[in-house]
Amino acid sequence: MSFDRAFLVFAAGVTAAIHVGKLPPALPVLQAELGMTLVQGGFLLSMVQLAAVGLGLAVGLAADGLGLRRVMAGGLALLAVASALGGFVRDPAALLVLRATEGVGFLLAATAGPSLIRRLVPPARLASRLGLWGAYMPLGTSLALLAGPLWMAAYGWPAWWWLTGALSLVLALALVLWVPADPARGDAVGPGAATAAPTPTATPSIPAAPSWRARLRETLRAPGPWLVALAFAVYSSQWLSVIGFLPTVYAQAGLAPSAAGFASAIVAAMNMVGNIASGRLLQRGVAPQRLLRVGFGAMALGAVGLYSPLWPVGTPALVGPFVSVLLFSALGGLVPGTLFSQAVRLAPSPGTVSTTVGWMQQWSSFGQFAGPPLVAWVASQVGGWQWSWSVTGLCAVIGLWLAGRIGRARGVGP
């Protein structure tokens, strides 16, 4: 059977992202059953990123040295175990610990994905496949937002944790069975390397990986990894702060959990439009800094429209706020797809691609870890969500500045 194994890697990433998205629809339930406050919920929402805040770069170094398939499958297995155990606990502190453990598994899976796709596809399809990879988070999040309320209504939130763990285990096994084994150091790592006769489109062989210290120095001394990492941090902080609390915002407005989950899932799924479009637009020669500027600009305007007190008082599902958050998600999706492509291109050498992605993942996780509690704190202080746009808007302004720096780093002007 012949099929594009990059899609299997993408499916594995989606399964890992489901663990990030499984919590937002469960927050109202956990607050009711465990007595959690809004700020505690914000920390629980971001706790999955705690591991990556300190370990993203280390995991990237490990993925370059230990093998991409091994690291990704191991991350999914860890997600499966932590999620299965989470369904048995009722103490918020224990749930926080297991959520942090899930964060380690998510980091392993997410960091290895782009480099594994790079190994499996020819250069002509790399930009489109990396653009697709950028959609793994919104697709996983939207699936969780859509299925979570229905599943929890029927079986309870512990069964939701067990289901997501089982999905991770299935995809871990699929990677082991159908993705070619990690090549030994010094072997070809381009598409076709695992077959007996390499194809003409195979990328050149990469020599044995240098030591982790050499890869670390090479990555951190180059400007490119820093630029894409910081840009992803300000993107991800906005994304999780808005999408993560959207079901709670809807629930506070009086929407039923299933309706809130459905509306939130639509918003999250729209992010895939920008992700997939970014790969196609990059292939057609659109400058990456232009895509980044459109994405960050739309996120700034969309967040203002969602939270603005100028709209009529009432449900946030009114046309104005809903269209605003759709704009935030759809055009904001141009950012991650573009950044994953630029991380591969701006890595200082082929042997530091996973290290660069790990550094980007570390800063992305910092944004996701810091953003939701900060937005929750602002909402608690002012007694509503009307000033939440000030936090996300500042991140968008920083992103616009970084877009120009990324363009100059590629030598294509401002």
pLDDT digits (tens, 9 = 90+) for 131-160: 788 788 888 988 998 899 899 999 999 999
* Average pLDDT for the chain: 83
> How far apart are the C-alpha atoms of 414 and 410, rounded to whole Å?
10
Q: What tokens does 170 get? A: 């299935």
* Average confidence (pLDDT) over 266-294: 91
pLDDT at 312: 52
Q: What are the Cα distances from residue 95, in Å, to 23, 48, 289, 302, 352? A: 11, 11, 40, 33, 35
pLDDT digits (tens, 9 = 90+) for 325-366: 899 999 999 999 899 889 888 989 877 887 888 888 889 888
Cβ-proximal residues to 124 (8 Å cutoff; 6+ apart), any chain: 201
Q: How confident is the model at residue 311 (pLDDT cuts 50, 70, 90)?
A: low
pLDDT digits (tens, 9 = 90+) for 191-237: 544 333 333 344 444 445 567 788 889 989 999 999 999 999 999 99
Please give the angle made by the CA atoms of 283, 357 and 207, to the nearest 5 degrees: 90
CATH of 5-179+211-409, one of 3.40.50.11820, 1.10.3720.10, 3.30.43.10, 1.20.1250.20: 1.20.1250.20
Using the CB atoms, write b or e for 306-320: b if 16+ within 10 Å: bbeeebeeeebbeee
Q: What percent of the chain has pLDDT over 90?
A: 36
What does R_g of the chain's alpha carbons equal in angstroms? 20
Residue 54 in this model has a pLDDT that exceeds 80: no
Q: What is the dihedral of CA 259, 316, 368, 141, to 10 degrees?
A: 20
How many Cα atoms sit within 13 Å of 212 on the Cβ side? 11
- CA dihedral for 17, 246, 259, 268, sign (positive or negative): negative
pLDDT at 196: 33
Among the listed residues 402, 399, 62, 394, the one whose alpha carbon sits nearest the alpha carbon of residue 224: 402
Q: What are phi and psi of 255, to 5 degrees?
A: -75, 145
Residue 265 in this model has a pLDDT that exceeds 50: yes
In contact, 219 and 347? CB cutoff 8 Å: yes
Q: How confident is the model at residue 310 (pLDDT cuts 50, 70, 90)?
A: low
For tokens 């653009």, the residue is 131
pLDDT digits (tens, 9 = 90+) for 82-125: 999 999 998 888 888 899 899 899 989 988 898 899 889 888 88
Instruction: Locate the domains of the chain by residue range.
Output: 5-179+211-409
Q: What tokens does 313 get? A: 């008082």
Q: What percent of the chain has pLDDT over 70?
A: 88
> How far apart are the C-alpha atoms of 85 and 82, rounded to whole Å?
5
